[in-house]
């Protein structure tokens, strides 16, 4: 989710991130409009981008709110110029019921844009007596009319059966009733990339279509990586990626001794043991903060609210634990014996390698 995107805030507790291609759109509009029509119209062009951005936010917020209402946890939203991607933690098995639920979630975004567009159109015609059919339909010269058509186009465009557009998600749900979920996603992604290629070819005659095809291709790539990531989560066990060469601290260590050990370790987080029992975890930063108030013992400042994982658990289980509890280190045990640790940093590195490995295996097949 964090690839090529920056955080811009939270809505209803959901992290919202802006994909860097939005800045590409801003530059494209600025240079195209300023070269052809001057700086004043270029500024209106940026205002038009802002209206499209607001419509995209409402679109993705519709997905998120319906998902939350249906009991699906939403992790975040990444906004693209032609839509966005709502990342969800969905642990339910994929059945006909979940497919119907996914269709409702997917349809929410386009329906919001179409509803806004139709409502704004009625207001423009009824109150402002505006001719909405006059060409061009979307132009910086008339931002009100452009807002109407931007929402109508966003709604209709996202109904295309081109993944990751919402129509493509409906298609993926249909495929998922007949085959493996990851395979269904990859088939929908392939169709989406075909649409992207067609749009880019059509861009020879209309540059905007080429840009839409580019954004569509980027979105499909993100979803493809997400599908691979999810397949790795569900099939890889913790013992395959846990750190087995790690340092521990004793609850009886002084903070100065603990800091000395931390200096000679690459770890940022440490399990704390008493004898052979695991009694807590502590971070390098926590040791430093505690030392500012004077020396003491690790047991006095360690975090006792840790969670453990069995080495046979899947990565999906550990990611859910880290995400919901806000943990940065999870000790891994075999029975009652500490055999490894999992940190967010080592998970990130391991997942990247495992995902690339799965991708290479598929290419060889």
264 is in an annotated binding site: no
> Is pTM, for the whole model, over 0.85?
no
Final residue in a domain of this structure, among 201, 216, 235: 235
Number of domains making up the chain: 2
Residue 285: how many CB atoms within 10 A of its CB? 11
At 336 the three-state DSSP class reads coil
* Residue 363 within any structural domain of the chain: no
**Stretches in the chain below the pLDDT threshold 70:** 1-3, 28-38, 40-41, 81-83, 89-97, 227-232, 320-328, 348, 351-352, 354-356, 358-365
Q: Are residues 221 and 245 in the same domain?
A: no
63 is in an annotated binding site: yes
Residue 48 CA from chain centroid, whole number: 26
Q: What residue numbers bound the domain in which 80 lies?
A: 5-235
Q: Are residues 51 and 181 in the same domain?
A: yes
**Selected catalytic residue, list 15, 60, 269, 364:** 60
* Residue 277 within any structural domain of the chain: yes
260 is in an annotated binding site: no
pLDDT tens profile 313-327: 887 777 766 655 556
- pLDDT score for 3: 62
Q: Are residues 350 and 265 in the same domain?
A: yes
Q: Are residues 142 and 289 in the same domain?
A: no
Final residue in a domain of this structure, among 186, 219, 235: 235
Distance CA(276)–CA(334), nearest Å, equals: 13
* Residue 365 within any structural domain of the chain: no
- pLDDT score for 122: 93
* Residue 361 within any structural domain of the chain: no
Q: Are residues 125 and 211 in the same domain?
A: yes
- pLDDT score for 257: 92
Tell me, yes or no, if 239 is annotated catalytic.
no
- pLDDT score for 120: 92
Q: Are residues 150 and 266 in the same domain?
A: no
Q: Furthest-apart CA pair in the chain: how many Å?
A: 81
pLDDT tens profile 166-220: 888 888 888 877 777 777 888 888 888 888 889 888 888 877 788 778 877 877 7
At 365 the three-state DSSP class reads coil
* Residue 257 within any structural domain of the chain: yes
pLDDT tens profile 76-113: 888 876 667 777 766 555 666 677 788 888 889 899 99
Kindly report the CATH number assigned to the domain that includes residue 325: 3.10.580.10
């Amino acid at each position: 989710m964090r690839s090529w995107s920056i955080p811009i805030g939270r809505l209803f507790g959901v992290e919202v991130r802006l994909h860097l291609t939005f800045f590409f759109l801003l530059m494209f509009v600025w240079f195209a409009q300023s070269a052809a029509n001057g700086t004043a119209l270029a500024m209106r062009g940026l205002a038009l981008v802002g209206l499209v951005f607001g419509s995209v936010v409402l679109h993705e917020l519709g997905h998120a709110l319906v998902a939350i209402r249906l009991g699906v946890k939403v992790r975040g939203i990444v906004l693209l110029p032609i839509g966005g991607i709502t990342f969800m933690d969905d642990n339910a098995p994929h059945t006909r019921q979940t497919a119907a639920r996914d269709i409702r979630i997917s349809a929410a975004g386009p329906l919001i844009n179409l509803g806004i567009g139709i409502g704004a159109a009625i207001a423009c015609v009824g109150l402002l007596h505006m001719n909405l059919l006059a060409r061009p339909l979307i132009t910086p010269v008339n931002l009100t009319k452009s807002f109407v058509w931007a929402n109508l186009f966003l709604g209709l465009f996202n109904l295309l059966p081109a993944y990751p557009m919402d129509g493509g998600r409906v298609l993926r749900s249909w495929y998922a009733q007949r085959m493996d979920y990851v395979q269904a996603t990859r088939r929908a992604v392939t169709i989406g990339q075909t649409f992207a290629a067609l749009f880019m070819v059509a861009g020879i005659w209309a540059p905007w279509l080429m840009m839409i095809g580019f954004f569509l291709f980027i979105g499909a790539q993100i979803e493809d990586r997400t599908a691979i990531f999810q397949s790795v989560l569900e099939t890889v066990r913790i013992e395959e990626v846990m750190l087995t060469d790690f340092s521990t601290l004793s609850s009886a260590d002084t903070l100065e001794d603990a800091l000395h050990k931390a200096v000679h370790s690459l770890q940022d987080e440490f399990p704390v043991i008493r004898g052979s029992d695991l009694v807590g975890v502590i971070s390098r930063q926590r040791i430093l903060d505690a030392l500012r108030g004077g020396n003491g013992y690790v047991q006095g400042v360690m975090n006792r609210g840790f969670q453990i994982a069995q080495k046979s658990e899947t990565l999906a289980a550990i990611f859910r634990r880290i995400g919901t509890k806000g943990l940065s280190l999870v000790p891994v045990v075999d029975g009652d014996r500490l055999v490894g640790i999992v940190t967010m940093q080592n998970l990130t590195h391991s997942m990247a390698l495992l995902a690339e490995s799965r991708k290479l295996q598929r290419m060889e097949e």
